[in-house]
């Protein structure tokens, strides 16, 4: 190998290796995306399209699961009512339905039915512990506008 081609290779190799690294990153991220879409049913990757859980919420659900024989899921649903039009409803459920969206964190599942999901896209579920009450709460909901300050009732945009 001539010295000029050797130095050429030396000059070009960082570009090649950077390109190879970029390509492999693209490949691995797109395959991860495909994998997540296949494995969990309708769990969207962009975070504005999911319902999130805080760590305290996950911890509380795990506590509740430890008390039950069957594996319980936390179900968030919307019902009409409250002082601002709609209100949140939390329940423990055993099974999911075909039209449910499932969000998983740390091994616990939050389930939202398809109709309710439109009202809680991007929301965060928290478990709030105060002297006067300890309860699940939707702490932020970008899909809602206004709403009562006790956070159980809200209006939609």
Partner 1 sequence: MRKQVLSLTETAAARIRHLLDQRRRSFLKLGVKARGCNGLSYTLNYADEKGKFDELVEDKGVKILIDPKALMHVIGTEMDFVDDKLRSEFIFVNPNSAGQCGCGESFMTISSSEAAKRGGGSRT
User: Per rule CB under 8 A, is residue 4 in the interface with partner 1?
Assistant: no
Cβ proximity to partner 1: between 1 and 132 the closer is: 132
Residues 6+ apart with CB under 8 A from 46: none
- Is 137 in contact with 125 (CB distance < 8 Å)? yes
Burial 64-96 (b: 16+ CB within 10 A, else e): ebeeeeeebbbbbbbeeebebbbbbeeeeeeee
To the nearest whole angstrom, how small is the minimum distance from the Cβ of residue 30 to partner 1? 39
Beta strands 86-93; 144-145: pairing state: unpaired
To the nearest whole angstrom, how small is the minimum distance from the Cβ of residue 119 to partner 1? 16
Cβ proximity to partner 1: between 98 and 149 the closer is: 149
Q: In the set 43, 90, 121, 139, which binds partner 1 (CB under 8 A)?
A: 90
User: Per rule CB under 8 A, is residue 77 in the interface with partner 1?
Assistant: no
Cβ proximity to partner 1: between 45 and 134 the closer is: 134
User: Per rule CB under 8 A, is residue 32 in the interface with partner 1?
Assistant: no
- Is 84 in contact with 146 (CB distance < 8 Å)? yes
Question: Contact positions toward partner 1, by CB under 8 A?
Answer: 64, 67, 81-84, 87, 90-92, 131-136, 148-153
């Amino acid at each position: 190998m001539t010295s000029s081609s050797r130095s050429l290779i030396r000059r070009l190799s960082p570009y090649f290796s950077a390109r190879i690294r970029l390509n492999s990153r693209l490949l691995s991220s797109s395959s991860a995306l495909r994998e997540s879409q296949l494995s969990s049913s309708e769990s969207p990757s962009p975070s504005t399209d999911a319902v999130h859980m805080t760590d305290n919420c996950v911890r509380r659900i795990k506590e509740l699961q430890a008390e039950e024989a069957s594996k319980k899921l936390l179900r968030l649903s919307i019902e009409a009512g409250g002082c601002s039009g709609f209100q949140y409803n939390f329940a423990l459920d055993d099974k999911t339905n075909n039209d449910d969206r499932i969000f998983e964190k740390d091994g616990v599942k939050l389930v939202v039915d398809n109709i309710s999901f439109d009202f809680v896209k991007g929301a965060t579920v928290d478990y709030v512990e105060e002297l006067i009450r300890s309860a699940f709460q939707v702490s932020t909901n970008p899909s809602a506008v206004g709403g009562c300050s006790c956070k159980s009732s809200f209006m939609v945009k």
